[in-house]
Amino acid sequence: CSCIHSPKGFPKLKNDTFLRAARGEETEHTPVWCMRQAGRYLPEFRETRAAQDFFATCRSPKLCCELTLQPLRRFPLDAAIIFSDILVVPQALGMEVVMVPGKGPTFTEPLKEVEDLLKLRQKVDVTAELGYVFQAITLTRHSLEGRVPLIGFSGAPWTLMSYMIEGGGSTTMSKAKSWLYRHPEASHRLLRLLADVIADYLVGQVAAGAQALQLFESHAGHLGPEQFQDFALPYIRDIAQAVKSKLKEEALPLVPMIIFAKDAHYALRDLAHAGYEVVGLDWTIRPQEARAQIGKDVTLQGNLDPCALYAPKEKIGELVKKMLEGFGTQRYIANLGHGLYPDMNPEHVGAFVEAVHAHSRHINKH
């Protein structure tokens, strides 16, 4: 369907604060959104999702649209992020992933030996395999009616590789890391395959209507500086470059890109030069230190400890004020240092969002 590739006539954007901050332009207030803002902490999310299998939900554009919009009905967030999952990419490569209650995402047949790489699709038609995400983005972009920009996303190669080998979550990632030490060539083959698919997938998201892109290197913290340099950073760089050149080729908008490499403060200087307009930060680094390492030409995003939202509302306000004083209100997008947790009180999320707007406006005036 050609409409997926060139959807025209999207509603005019009314609040572009997030995009302006991402591009380093001046903003009246600091924009704010939350990772996992569409999630189980919202009772309406639990209701919508109740009867549905998780990945069946991901494959339903209507449900993804509804779940993406839910937090925006409650909170004056400055961006929406499409409801999906990073593991749709391994699925597109032909792997089976199921959501096991109480355990999380589980691969029925994880990669065990190098030979298993041959079972993966070597050429992926992203529209055929992931067209449901593109449809969800187009539908959501229309349904947002221009209220705020829509962010698309993907997992980064190392993070996806670690899931594909571990078969699910892991505290040590020892199976996946053992590949890096025992099978470096095969690891690079897998990472290259992933990077190529991810680049096409992200370009497809922009064609479908995504106005910004975030790459999640959620498992960066399991690597040390050397392994990150060898097995994560080159692919993070390549993806930014490939996406940008393909967007130009296809005459698509050059949207801002965000890299979020959790627990990789040892790599902030490199990430600042990896080709992304925004570097996302977890909560384990001081704002001033991050700013010193990243420099003036890249926007920062983050980095309130998600658990701060368990604090009383007044305390949340104080922590936000301190965070804004640390980062400065410009070239900055407020967010948490990781996603929202399912047992969080929605009112406290609201307090966070409102505190960012109120304190940043106040700081900008004075």
Give per-residue pLDDT as tens, 268-311: 999 999 999 999 999 999 999 999 999 999 999 999 999 999 99
How many angstroms separate the CA atoms of 300 and 294, rounded?
8
> Which residues are known catalytic residues?
36, 40, 49, 85, 163
Beta-bridge partners for 302: 334
| pTM of this structure | 0.97
In this prediction, residue 7 has a pLDDT band, given cuts at 50, 70 and 90, of low
Give per-residue pLDDT as tens, 128-141: 999 999 999 999 99
Token pair of 308 as six digits = 């701060």
Residue 50 in this model has a pLDDT that exceeds 50: yes
Residue identified by tokens 């490939």 is: 242
Residue 6 in this model has a pLDDT that exceeds 60: no
Q: 337: Cβ–Cβ under 8 A, 6 or more apart, which residues?
A: 281, 282, 283, 284, 302, 303, 304, 305, 306
In this prediction, residue 152 has a pLDDT band, given cuts at 50, 70 and 90, of very high
Domain boundaries, the chain: 16-365
pLDDT, residue 102, reads: 86
Residue 4 in this model has a pLDDT that exceeds 70: no
Residue 325 neighbours by CB distance under 10 Å? 13
Give per-residue pLDDT as tens, 69-80: 999 999 999 999
Residue 168 in this model has a pLDDT that exceeds 60: yes
pLDDT, residue 139, reads: 98
Domain 16-365 bears CATH identifier 3.20.20.210 = yes
